[in-house]
Chain A
């Protein structure tokens, strides 16, 4: 980082422009948009994990003052199309309100519209629903075996069960002197946003326009809403100019939007739904993966892993959303940073009577990284080798990039060994080992956690055709429009919402870099969906690459146009001209120059001086494909998933009081390589937040269910987010291995920290527990579970 930068603004530690409005409490969120006459929705939800809806009596609710409507699932289903599903599962229809059968506790059964939210809640209580409870299934493995069916018409609980074989798996196992097989579990948690989902809809019958303000981070939101509402997409206008108070995948809200959009049209009133925390956690369909892994590896005496078999069964809850694809994305980094020659991967998604799963930060990659890293630790332990050394031996070396992995993705670049060396040097690894020894001598359990993993970035959608052959969508574009107005101000337009990722800073920095102007002077705005260029959304760690790339290319087009105008105006060939600080000049004849203002004036006012055929004005667009594009998978399921691969290496020290089982993180160091960093503050914020989130997933957060099928963690007293007390100071060690595929060499960092923190914490806790001869392979490793496991081990009972 100390080397002189080849950039002017990129990589410099500039402020994040969005921070100001958030710090002073002046963000403008969806709930801040209040159309006149706004009405409020409250939901009637099913109290059973599965139930036949026998009858719904709305009369008492409708008789209450201030109540406008009670909507049930039958009416809504009549008027709308089912919500889009990722897989080809026509017999698993998903709708905003249950029709005839409710399939999880908290599922929406009816919606009440009233003058205020409080009145709507009063009326929701007065809606009398008669339920006939049905048998239910909660456990993913039990659902996979059969028995109770969540959707009778589907004939099975299995949404997806596919086994891929890449390379000579059986042969490589046969040739391996050692094998190791174990099960590891990732518990059900999520990204839990501070702002719950919010959507406001207003229908204007005279313009035939449905205006929507929503707290979204969803690709394909306007089109899915329009299709479900049976409206032309040109009649749905989604306003992207709202701040989103946290998301990391979960702010999809398509069912909320179809419900509210329908009500707004049906009633001719603006209607809003603001989820409360209970609705968010129980019925907001925002739970993340709940995944059982069965991993087997074949390896030699040196700890070189030759082949891996992985079975991953994900409990996706009661309906088929997009979530089964979270088993597909990890295909693009299925061997982690290691040279594993062959892989067998079985991906299973099953339905159960739990809340529906949605996309969560890293889209399924973090659980898989955890499973791989737990396995590498155990390989080292089995052979009595150092865990770091085993990783070093297996890792892809710098000179081997670009590196093709068995499942068909090529890693763009990396320098894993150097990052590890830098982290060890920074952390004082020998001192950490000594500290572990001191703690152990004091009677504490102490362990060092190690995790190395990748963050695939750039966000293709190749997992869609991989897991659903009927889908041909392999990638998504992102775009930027830049206008220089007639007085010379620059406005860049982006075409999605942001949930705190600092995209305005990103675009300003990139445009400033290319046009050599102060980034602060570049206005960045968001279009609405009808004014938008085709764009996706901030998913798949893609925006530095994709929005940054689109802004770069759009700014280049502006620059090229300015040079062309100057060339024509000066009567000099464009090749002879140089662009500098907004002006254009001929280095061989310094008086031959045009300033920014002169060029802008020609473009906007002195159109007769433009090159023949050139469009007047200075407005350009760039729609950018993912570098390398998207490709269809081969028949055996090999595909280039994402283009760029960031690397992270976690090193940490945990101490556990053996009597209490309470882990305490004493030290946390991460080495992070996401290529060229565009804004260091943003990357740092992403990484710190990701580590906090990962610590939560490893130790605290779990959507636990009771045996009778009810969600027990449905508020912040029971769903435990780590607080500032639990998250330690994090030391970040930077390394930059530029990507050859992107405009500045940048890679993604939107999910950084979270990719490896759960694996690192699990590694540390298990290193601490090793002297007791026990292994804990289930997340979250809650205090009391660790306490009980340690007590059992000390009493000489069977290991957990």
Chain B
């Protein structure tokens, strides 16, 4: 469990990092290393050069950009978890962050690293997809931006070009007063990768009717799924479990679920439905508590 030989660079700016990436097709960025280092130890990843961006100051921040919160790519998950802006304005992200790995891995793992890794079972990826976050990166001296709906392409595959450096994740802030969230995941052991996860964020009017909803399913398929049809069906409605279940079932009907050592496709299909309903119910309840 020793990695294959590699070079190591620690650039002091994003542009310098990009230049190092551009000069070597085998170069890879490293920030928290919580996924990459074990893969390298097993020689399943064999970068020729590691470009360590963890200490570039411009990449670690949490910023209120008015209408959205931007989180710098190398912001540690643990820092985001305890950030007051995240806690007050991004309730869904705040809700899922404690489920990301373990405390020890969150202390090193980064928000951007999780996004760039593009694992459909990752909680941060699920929230980015569910809320429609925007990903920004820098490449060749230029900045680019892309919505999450276009960014996640397949299992651990994203639209991020190889010589690019992800710079931030911008999560939309919901201005409504009554916003609630729900999150459920199933795994064999606490803190393992989920077999299936479901996230919901819902805004209610003063009568308890849904004015906006976002629902996502993680870990079940190649990429995180957004159940927009379910969200639309709830608009103007209070929580009605049977209706939610029916629309979620319809939305999941055509999805191709994954099967692996730990869970069958049938398990994922059934449990995705169960968890979607539970997450939505929780989100309604959570929102209803707010005045």
Chain A residues engaging chain B, CB cutoff 8 angstroms: 117-118, 121-122, 125, 276-278, 659-662, 699-700, 704, 712-713, 715, 717-718, 720, 722-723, 725-726, 782-784, 787-788, 791
A700-B267 in contact (CB<8A): no
Known contacts A278-B42, A660-B274, A791-B270: A783-B1 contact under CB 8 Å: no
4 A-B pairs with the lowest CB-CB distances in the bound complex, closest first:
A118-B2, A276-B1, A725-B190, A784-B263
A787-B188 in contact (CB<8A): no
A277-B270 in contact (CB<8A): no
| Residue from A117, A659, A699 with most neighbouring chain B CB atoms (10 Å) | A659
Known contacts A659-B270, A784-B267: A722-B1 contact under CB 8 Å: no
Least CB distance from B182 to A in Å reads: 15
Query: Bound state CA distance, A326 and B261, in angstroms?
Result: 28
Least CB distance from B27 to A in Å reads: 20
Least CB distance from A534 to B in Å reads: 38
A660-B186 in contact (CB<8A): yes
Query: Bound state CA distance, A726 and B42, in angstroms?
Result: 27
Query: Bound state CA distance, A715 and B38, in angstroms?
Result: 11
B262-A782 in contact (CB<8A): yes
Contact among B1, B186, B188, B193 for A278, CB-based, below 8 A:
B1
Contact among A117, A118, A720, A784 for B195, CB-based, below 8 A:
A784
Known contacts A117-B2, A122-B4, A659-B270: A725-B189 contact under CB 8 Å: yes
A720-B192 in contact (CB<8A): yes
Least CB distance from A93 to B in Å reads: 30
The size of the chain B interface, using a CB distance under 8 A, is 25
Measured between beta carbons, the chain A residues less than 8 angstroms from B188 are 699-700, 720, 782-783
- If A720-B189, A722-B189 are given as contacts, then 6 extra A-B residue pairs at C-beta distance below 8 Å, sorted by A number, are A659-B270, A662-B186, A699-B188, A717-B193, A725-B189, A784-B267
B237 interface residue, CB < 8 Å from A? no
A788-B267 in contact (CB<8A): yes
Q: Across the two chains, which residue of chain B brings its CB closest to A116?
A: B2
Least CB distance from A742 to B in Å reads: 40
Least CB distance from B33 to A in Å reads: 16
Known contacts A784-B263, A784-B267, A791-B266: A723-B190 contact under CB 8 Å: yes
A788-B190 in contact (CB<8A): no
B270-A718 in contact (CB<8A): no
| Residue from A276, A713, A787, A791 with most neighbouring chain B CB atoms (10 Å) | A787
Measured between beta carbons, the chain B residues less than 8 angstroms from A791 are 266-267, 270
Least CB distance from B146 to A in Å reads: 30
Measured between beta carbons, the chain B residues less than 8 angstroms from A726 are 189-190
Least CB distance from A115 to B in Å reads: 13
Q: Across the two chains, which residue of chain A brings its CB closest to B2?
A: A118
B162 interface residue, CB < 8 Å from A? no
Measured between beta carbons, the chain A residues less than 8 angstroms from B1 are 276-278
Measured between beta carbons, the chain B residues less than 8 angstroms from A717 are 192-193
Contact among A121, A712, A783 for B261, CB-based, below 8 A:
A712
Q: Across the two chains, which residue of chain A brings its CB closest to B262?
A: A784
Q: Across the two chains, which residue of chain A brings its CB closest to B271?
A: A660
Measured between beta carbons, the chain B residues less than 8 angstroms from A784 are 195, 262-264, 267
B191 interface residue, CB < 8 Å from A? yes
B5 interface residue, CB < 8 Å from A? yes
Measured between beta carbons, the chain B residues less than 8 angstroms from A723 are 189-191
Interface string of B253-284 (1 = CB under 8 A from A): 00000000111101100110010000000000
Measured between beta carbons, the chain B residues less than 8 angstroms from A715 are 42
Measured between beta carbons, the chain B residues less than 8 angstroms from A277 are 1
A787-B190 in contact (CB<8A): no
B263-A659 in contact (CB<8A): no
Least CB distance from B112 to A in Å reads: 22
Interface residues of B in 57-77 (CB under 8 A from A): none
Contact among A276, A278, A718, A787 for B267, CB-based, below 8 A:
A787
Least CB distance from A710 to B in Å reads: 11
Query: Bound state CA distance, A787 and B3, in angstroms?
Result: 38
A713-B261 in contact (CB<8A): yes
Known contacts A659-B270, A725-B191, A788-B266: A783-B2 contact under CB 8 Å: no
Measured between beta carbons, the chain A residues less than 8 angstroms from B270 are 659, 787, 791
Measured between beta carbons, the chain B residues less than 8 angstroms from A121 are 2, 43
Contact among A118, A659, A699, A718 for B274, CB-based, below 8 A:
A659
Interface residues of B in 149-187 (CB under 8 A from A): 186-187
Least CB distance from A687 to B in Å reads: 22
Measured between beta carbons, the chain B residues less than 8 angstroms from A787 are 267, 270-271
Least CB distance from A90 to B in Å reads: 37
Contact among B3, B42, B186, B193 for A783, CB-based, below 8 A:
B186
Q: Across the two chains, which residue of chain B brings its CB closest to A702?
A: B261
Measured between beta carbons, the chain B residues less than 8 angstroms from A276 are 1
Query: Bound state CA distance, A276 and B41, in angstroms?
Result: 10
A704-B2 in contact (CB<8A): no
A and B contact pairs by CB, cutoff 8 A, 26 listed: A117-B2, A118-B2, A118-B5, A125-B43, A276-B1, A277-B1, A659-B274, A660-B186, A660-B271, A699-B188, A700-B188, A717-B193, A720-B188, A726-B190, A782-B188, A782-B262, A783-B186, A783-B188, A783-B195, A783-B263, A784-B262, A784-B263, A784-B267, A787-B267, A787-B270, A791-B270
Least CB distance from B269 to A in Å reads: 10
Least CB distance from B3 to A in Å reads: 8
Least CB distance from A718 to B in Å reads: 6
Measured between beta carbons, the chain B residues less than 8 angstroms from A720 are 188-189, 192
Q: Across the two chains, which residue of chain B brings its CB closest to A718?
A: B261
| Residue from A117, A699, A723 with most neighbouring chain B CB atoms (10 Å) | A723
Least CB distance from B154 to A in Å reads: 20
Measured between beta carbons, the chain A residues less than 8 angstroms from B4 are 122, 125
Query: Bound state CA distance, A784 and B264, in angstroms?
Result: 7
Measured between beta carbons, the chain B residues less than 8 angstroms from A783 are 186-188, 195, 263
Least CB distance from B206 to A in Å reads: 33
A122-B264 in contact (CB<8A): no
Q: Across the two chains, which residue of chain B brings its CB closest to A787?
A: B267
Least CB distance from A716 to B in Å reads: 10
Least CB distance from A345 to B in Å reads: 34
| Residue from A278, A660, A715, A725 with most neighbouring chain B CB atoms (10 Å) | A660
Interface residues of B in 186-236 (CB under 8 A from A): 186-193, 195
Measured between beta carbons, the chain A residues less than 8 angstroms from B192 are 717, 720
Interface residues of B in 1-49 (CB under 8 A from A): 1-5, 42-43
Query: Bound state CA distance, A722 and B189, in angstroms?
Result: 7
Query: Bound state CA distance, A788 and B193, in angstroms?
Result: 19
Measured between beta carbons, the chain A residues less than 8 angstroms from B5 are 118, 122
Known contacts A725-B190, A783-B186: A704-B266 contact under CB 8 Å: no
Q: Across the two chains, which residue of chain A brings its CB closest to B1?
A: A276
Least CB distance from A189 to B in Å reads: 14
Query: Bound state CA distance, A725 and B270, in angstroms?
Result: 25
Measured between beta carbons, the chain B residues less than 8 angstroms from A788 are 264, 266-267
Least CB distance from B44 to A in Å reads: 11
Query: Bound state CA distance, A715 and B1, in angstroms?
Result: 11
A659-B271 in contact (CB<8A): yes
Least CB distance from B94 to A in Å reads: 21
Measured between beta carbons, the chain A residues less than 8 angstroms from B193 are 717
Query: Bound state CA distance, A232 and B2, in angstroms?
Result: 37
Q: Across the two chains, which residue of chain A brings its CB closest to B195?
A: A784
Measured between beta carbons, the chain B residues less than 8 angstroms from A118 are 2-3, 5
Q: Across the two chains, which residue of chain B brings its CB closest to A706?
A: B261
Measured between beta carbons, the chain A residues less than 8 angstroms from B3 are 118
Measured between beta carbons, the chain B residues less than 8 angstroms from A117 are 2
Query: Bound state CA distance, A660 and B186, in angstroms?
Result: 7
Least CB distance from A776 to B in Å reads: 15
Least CB distance from A187 to B in Å reads: 13
Least CB distance from A167 to B in Å reads: 43
Query: Bound state CA distance, A787 and B193, in angstroms?
Result: 17
Q: Across the two chains, which residue of chain B brings its CB closest to A118?
A: B2
Q: Across the two chains, which residue of chain B brings its CB closest to A40?
A: B2
Query: Bound state CA distance, A278 and B195, in angstroms?
Result: 24
Query: Bound state CA distance, A125 and B4, in angstroms?
Result: 10
Q: Across the two chains, which residue of chain B brings its CB closest to A712?
A: B261
Q: Across the two chains, which residue of chain A brings its CB closest to B41?
A: A276
